[in-house]
Amino acid sequence: VKMVKGPIDFVGINQYTTYFMSDPHLTTKPKDLGYQQDWNVAFNFAKDGKPIGPRAYSEWLYNVPWGMYKTLMYIKERYGNPTMILSENGMDDPGNITLAQGLNDTTRINYYRDYLAQLKKAVDDGANLTGYFAWSLLDNFEWLSGYTSRFGIVYVDYKNLKRYPKMSALWFKQLLKRDQE
């Protein structure tokens, strides 16, 4: 206990989407045990029939950039503004898209642009955020969905493992280059 007691170095946050929360007694309970039962809340992607945001490929992932801001500000205010690192942030496409479809990932560019704008707003409002990691650099094996979804900014041809930068990779390159010019 002595070894882990004391201040933390940083809080790592994985932020992909946002949910509406409600009283779990008003909805049907999930069949499987998991973190939702521990929290004793129901997770909802819609309110009054209106989706919380545009859906990505995975059924659990909606584009809700304002959730990023609210998460960072909540941690800032609730926990005394610890050092935070955004350790995962991204959206997916179907795993069976063609190379041409995969390279033209304008939806992913819009996702990152909108989420990073909310991240900047939180930093401007005093959130102690020191790092950001896009999920993910490469299309990869996802624990819950295997190769059926693609999160990468680089397309991987799983037959030969050849890699192709998507438009989002080029967008990130320009974004990062902007401050150097």
Contacts (Cβ under 8 Å, ≥6 apart) of 17: 53, 56, 60, 61, 62, 63, 64, 67
Domain boundaries, the chain: 11-17+56-180
Give the pTM.
Answer: 0.90
pLDDT in tens, the chain (181 residues): 777 777 889 999 999 999 998 887 766 666 677 766 677 788 899 999 999 999 999 999 999 999 999 999 999 999 999 999 999 999 999 999 999 999 999 999 999 999 999 999 999 999 999 999 999 999 999 988 999 999 999 999 999 999 999 999 999 999 998 766 5
Domain 11-17+56-180 listed as CATH 3.30.70.3420: no
- Say which residues have a Cβ less than 8 Å from residue 167's Cβ, sequence separation at least 6: 103, 104, 105, 106, 108, 109
